[in-house]
A and B are shown apart, each in its own frame.
Chain A
């Protein structure tokens, strides 16, 4: 542990707000710029920041590498799941209109379908970014 107090306190104070901003970017994507990809990167940035200030080991206690790997796969599965669900409901693959009763209001299904796949993108991008950072930062320099 080093004595860079401003960095440590600043990181702790800022982290929840950055996470909140990531959620804002995620759910405000319907109305303005943003969406799953950007939100996932911002989410991952919090853990990268944490690792840079507090060290990789402590960051891996907060967000274990296995969880990050699982997130990377889970998001793709979620995306595919939404696609298959709309198939089982009688529509085409990824035709969200069939997620709910399409006769009544197809936009209802579209709304939830988009939320679902954006969540999948968020989870994948978050997991992959954290995993990539761990993979790069976890290696030691080999002096020959």
Chain B
């Protein structure tokens, strides 16, 4: 690809990114917002490919556009897809966002040009990885894998532990663990029999509620 073509692709992708971002903010339909967020991730993945960060692009496409979209849809199935009208005026958030964005854009002036060989990022260990990983790690053409799994094995171990911790956290908050041995309902404790599912139990309780109220009604008649 020539330089001009790269720039055209860059501009097209960035414009798409901006359009999807604004559309996510403007829509009040959360289903639409989730779908647009998926598209946003996919376009970002495209940008990463253009910047030669294929491993990152791969992850972004699989996690951002794939799994997280599904998880968000699952959440929407629980909470509904309509967003209520905001209760505050957006002036203060807008001010904060503009100031922060302005600071970030100002900061980019100091960032070294993209892909230059004498950038600070390429001065320290990167040269060593590219030059010596063949001898130290063996014939692994994708240096990213050598760095990720061997040179930076500690970091990847930490990341794996973080993912595991995320699972533990979500399960603690969301999962429906095993049923308790007994449940308190309508004034007394019920033993939960083995092999009873949660749905059976709920149905049983509802039945009993109806049953109880008729009994109470009967007593009233007697009295």
Contacts and interface: CB of A to CB of B under 8 A. Distances in A.
Contact of B67 (A44, A69, A79): A44
A35 to B, nearest CB: 6
Given A72-B167, A131-B171, A139-B78, A117 B153 contact: yes
B160 A35 contact: no
A136 B150 contact: no
- Size class of the B contact interface (CB-based, 8 Å): 35 or more
Given A29-B142, A107-B137, A136-B174, A94 B70 contact: no
Interface stretch (B3-11, B21-29, B51-59, B85-93): B51-59
Interface string B120-163: 00000000000000011111111011101110011011001101
A128 B166 contact: yes
B192 interface: no
Contacts of A34: 55, 58
Contacts of A107: 135-139
B37 to A, nearest CB: 16
A8 B78 CA distance: 25
A134 B74 CA distance: 10
Given A33-B57, A79-B157, A137-B74, A110 B67 contact: no
B176 interface: yes
A129 B141 CA distance: 29
B179 interface: no
Interface residues of A, number: 55
Contact of B70 (A52, A73, A121): A52
Interface string A24-38: 010001111111011
B175 A83 contact: no
Nearest to B75: A136
A125 B163 contact: yes
Contacts of B176: 138-139
Interface in A96-144: 96, 106-108, 110-111, 113-114, 117-118, 120-121, 124-125, 127-129, 131-142
B143 to A, nearest CB: 10
A108 B138 contact: yes
Given A35-B145, A38-B62, A113-B150, A141 B71 contact: no
Given A80-B157, A113-B149, A121-B156, 9 more contacts: A31-B141, A79-B156, A107-B137, A117-B153, A120-B160, A125-B160, A132-B71, A133-B70, A135-B175
Interface of B: 54-55, 57-59, 62-63, 66-67, 70-71, 74-75, 77-80, 135-142, 144-146, 148-150, 153-154, 156-157, 160-161, 163-164, 166-167, 170-171, 174-176
Q: Which 5 A-B pairs have the closest CB atoms?
A: A107-B138, A136-B74, A33-B54, A94-B153, A128-B167
